[in-house]
A and B are shown apart, each in its own frame.
Chain A
Amino acid sequence: MTDTLRSICGQCTYLKNPRLDFIPTNLARHKEIILRDLRELVSVASSEHEKACVVLAGSVLEAILFSFLQGQETKIGERRGRRFAFDPSQSLQYYLDTFNRWFGRDFPNLELPDVLVDYRNLVHFNQQLNSPTDECGRAARTLLRTLESLIRELSAYGRTAR
């Protein structure tokens, strides 16, 4: 038997006790929603609910990237050589690409591969139909571990950036 969602959750200290200091204080509503979704995520993962875990983990992944990038407009602008205007109507793929492009080198121990978007898209029935039977479980486990790494790395970044 491969790792259960419950056992993975048991090892994820940042998922269970998130601080989210990397989200600017003026984005309090963002933080509130993410904290609520993380609590629900830990709850469904501990109950081995794979699909619910994928839906919530995918949503939290997008929310964290969204909030982090929104708070980093100035830094991205400095790096790209012209003002960067955060666009809240974009897709998860866009946020992932933007994060990897402008912050990838800041986080050598973090990897956000393109396949994460496919995992999040399992929320769409057709995507699920066209996936292996165990894809939901695989996606849930990978998303949980990735979120743990993402929150840990961004928390450390938030501390050093202050």
Chain B
Amino acid sequence: MVVLQLMAGLAQVDWQSLANEANVRALLEDLVTYYKGVYGGQQLALAVWFHKSPHESEHNLLALFTGPELGRIAISERQSLLWKTGVNQPPFANIHGAMVGDFVRLMQSAPESLNQYREKSEAIYFDSRLLPPRVLQFFGIVTKPPGLVEVWCVYHNEYEKGMSVQTLLASRRGRPESGIVKTEESKDFETCKAIFHVEVGQQWRPASPEATMQSSGFYSDWLSGRPCYLLEETGVLYQIVKFEVIYAPEYASRVIERRLDDRYLEVYLRTVHLPEEPAA
């Protein structure tokens, strides 16, 4: 019965439309790849396919770059998406180009003029390091689940040097290597349980239990009985108490991309209180 329902569902899918959409997306991505490398001092920060209508012969792309403001959104009409082959034939794209600063200014001064860019829109490319969070929010680009806290790992040999939290934080200026989403916390905030995350493609996703067990040094340390710690950006330091792989379909609502097998790596943490200043 289930198989019949599945087959009936598949029969109703408009495969031609899906193929058209994939084709146009691929052509726009080729153009975006070109934009990423062509302007020396300006970096492509965002490319949005808006007014999506895959069966049409004309498409619309908003491209935001870093650099000095132009004071407007420049529109370049009917660029053939088959430019690589040297022909000027459909499908075409109308390119709306601007600097990130221009877009942010318009968000304040004339937000209604930007509404068209999020109508039936899809972000083809983004670099979250080059965009203010409000631009990401405007386009509904979600890079982390609610409540995600980015953390750095502190190995026991570093911890045992007796550093203060400030010193540990000061030495961590790069990208945090992991993230946690708390699922339970004690009333005194001393212990908690959290879903372990990693950043893949600028999005914080629940970690693969097997991959973490095989590749992470802190898992290996924990397994060998060596203490390991996680440091929050806010300065809260946790000791890893244990890891557990759990089957939890209910966690689908707490992550931005559920794991296909609904298995999650959960970490149990205990707050560690370090002195404010380095030990003498």
Cβ < 8 Å to B, chain A residues 126-158: 127, 130-135, 138, 141-142, 145-146, 148-149
Contact bitstring B251-279, A, C-beta under 8 A = 1, else 0: 00000000011000000000000000000
| A106-143, CB < 8 A from B | 108-115, 118, 127, 130-135, 138, 141-142
A1 within 8 A of B: yes
User: A71-105 CB contact bits vs B (8 Å, 1 = yes)?
Assistant: 00000000011101001010000000100110011
Given known contacts A2-B156, A3-B221, A145-B216, A105 and B260 CB-to-CB distance under 8 angstroms: yes
The answer to whether A149 and B26 have CB atoms under 8 Å apart is no
Q: How far is the CA of A133 from the CA of B154 in the complex (A)?
A: 12
Q: For residues 204 through 244 of chain B, which have their beta carbon under 8 Å from a beta carbon of chain A? A: 207-208, 210-212, 214-217, 220-221, 224, 226
* CB contact between A111 and one of B21, B173, B207, B260 (< 8 Å): that residue: B207
Question: CA–CA, A97 to B260, complex, Å?
Answer: 20
Are B215 and A111 in contact (CB-based, < 8 A)?
yes
Task: Give every chain B residue within 8 A of A2 (Cβ-Cβ).
Answer: 155-157, 217, 220-221, 226
By a CB distance below 8 angstroms, the chain A residues around B177 are 113, 115
Contact B210 A115 (CB under 8 A): no
| Interface residues in B, total, Cβ within 8 A | 41
For chain B, residues 150 to 187, give those with C-beta under 8 angstroms from any C-beta of chain A.
153, 155-158, 171-175, 177
Q: Is B19 an interface residue (CB 8 A)?
A: yes
Taking a contact as CB atoms closer than 8 A, the residue among A110, A133, A135 that contacts B208 in the complex is A110
User: When chains A and B are docked, how far (Å) is the Cα of A104 from the Cα of B199?
Assistant: 13
For A89, A100, A127, the residue with the greatest tally of chain B CB atoms inside 10 Å of its CB is: A100
Contact for B171 among A89, A108, A109, A132, CB less than 8 A: A132
Say yes or no for B78: interface residue by CB 8 A criterion. Answer: no
From A100, A101, A130, contact of B174 by CB (8 A) = A130
Does chain A have a CB within 8 A of B9? no
Knowing A2-B217, A130-B173, A131-B173, the reply to whether A114 touches B200 (Cβ < 8 A) is yes
Binary CB contact string for chain B from 138 to 160 against chain A (1 if under 8 A, 0 otherwise): 00000000000000010111100
**Min C-beta distance of B55 to chain A, whole Å:** 14
Task: Tell me if B22 counts as interface (CB < 8 A to partner A).
Answer: yes
Q: In chain A, what residue has the closest Cβ to B37?
A: A89
Q: Which of B66-96 contact A (CB under 8 A)?
A: none
The answer to whether residues A134 and B155 also contact, given A80-B26, A82-B27, A141-B217 and a CB cut-off of 8 A, is yes
Given contacts A113-B177, A132-B171, A142-B216, whether A80 and B22 have CB atoms under 8 Å apart is yes
A111/B200 in contact, CB under 8 A: yes
User: Nearest CB to that of A97 among chain B residues?
Assistant: B201
Of residues B217, B226, B260, which shows the largest number of chain A Cβ atoms within 10 Å of its Cβ? Answer: B217
B198 within 8 A of A: yes
Shortest CB distance B90–A (Å): 15
Are A111 and B23 interface neighbours, CB within 8 A? no
- The CA-CA distance from A110 to B174 in the complex, in Å, is 23
- Return chain A residues, CB-CB under 8 Å to B19: 81
Q: Which of A1-43 contact B (CB under 8 A)?
A: 1-3
Of the candidates A100, A118, A149, the one whose C-beta lies within 8 Å of that of B214 is A149
Interface centre among B172, B200, B212, B224 (most CB of A within 10 A): B200
Q: Are A82 and B26 in contact (CB under 8 A)?
A: yes
A134: nearest residue on chain B (CB-CB)? B158
Q: Taking A2-B157, A113-B198, A113-B199 as contacts, is the C-beta distance between A131 and B215 under 8 angstroms?
A: no
Residues of B within 8 A of A105 (CB): 260
Of B21, B208, B217, which one neighbours A142 at CB under 8 angstroms?
A: B217
In the assembled complex, the Cα of A113 lies from the Cα of B199 at a distance in Å of 6
- Using known A-B contacts A2-B156, A141-B217, determine if residue A149 contacts B211 with beta carbons closer than 8 Å: yes
Complex contacts, A130 vs chain B, CB 8 Å: 173-174
Instruction: For the A-B complex with A100-B201, A109-B210, A113-B200 known, give 17 more contacts whose Cβ atoms are closer than 8 Å.
Output: A1-B157, A2-B217, A2-B220, A80-B25, A80-B29, A81-B21, A81-B23, A84-B26, A87-B33, A109-B211, A111-B208, A118-B174, A131-B173, A131-B174, A132-B158, A134-B158, A145-B220
